[in-house]
Amino acid sequence: MTGAAADTPAAGTPADGTPAAGVPADGSAVEAAITELKFGENDLLPAIVQDDESGDVLMLAWMDAEAVRRTLTTGRVTYWSRSRGEYWRKGDTSGHRQYVRSVASDCDGDTLLVRVVQLGAACHTGSRTCFDGRDLPAVVGEPNAT
């Protein structure tokens, strides 16, 4: 297709081709993206969750293809609970919701980075992140050391 119509994004899509906030991603694009992911044991992959504003790593959870699909198409993050064997959306019971800002896969396609707006605590313990106050004793490396 040539001419203006070919260069015009679909309604609700910015000129760069990314979906506008609140506009569902194209279903075929979502399915193609999921097909490219490499799910591991039990058909799951890890999702690292990062605060979009501060850059803080909030938590790590697991997703299967359906959880990824729901996350990419709803604007809220959905996970697979390995212990309960069911889907869950952060905040449905606690009120500490996560709203999707972006989702990216790593270079191998076997891990996701989900950037979110986090309302309230990310950790089930009530901590802002799952990593607050849980430092392990480690030798600090120096880049100039041999």
Label each residue of 119-146 as H, E or C: CCCCCCCCCCCCCCCCCCCCCCCCCCCC
CA distance 79 to 61: 7
**Is pLDDT at 13 greater than 50 in this prediction?**
no
Q: What is the structure's pLDDT at 10?
A: 37
pTM, to two decimals: 0.78
How large a percentage of the chain has pLDDT more than 70? 83
Residues 120-144: b if buried by 16+ CB within 10 A, e if exposed = ebbeeeeebbbeeeeeeeeeeeeee
Q: What is the mean pLDDT of the chain?
A: 85
In eight-state DSSP terms, residue 18 is P
* Binding site residue list for Zn(2+): 107, 123, 130
For residue 61, what pLDDT is reported? 97
Indicate if the pLDDT at residue 130 is higher than 90: yes
| Domain 26-118 fold | Ubiquitin-like (UB roll) (3.10.20)
Residue 71 predicted with pLDDT over 90: yes
Neighbouring CB atoms inside 10 A of 119's CB total 14
Which residues belong to the annotated binding site? 106-108, 110, 123, 130
Angle, in degrees to the nearest 10, between helices 27-36 and 65-74 = 140
3-state secondary structure of 29: helix
pLDDT > 70? residue 81: yes
| DSSP state at residue 94 | T
User: Which residue, chain included where needed, has tokens 């000129």?
Assistant: 15
Annotated binding site for Mg(2+), which residues? 106, 108, 110
pLDDT band at 24 (very low <50, low <70, confident <90, very high): low
Averaged over 31-60, what is the pLDDT? 96
**Residue 19: pLDDT band with limits 50, 70, 90:** very low
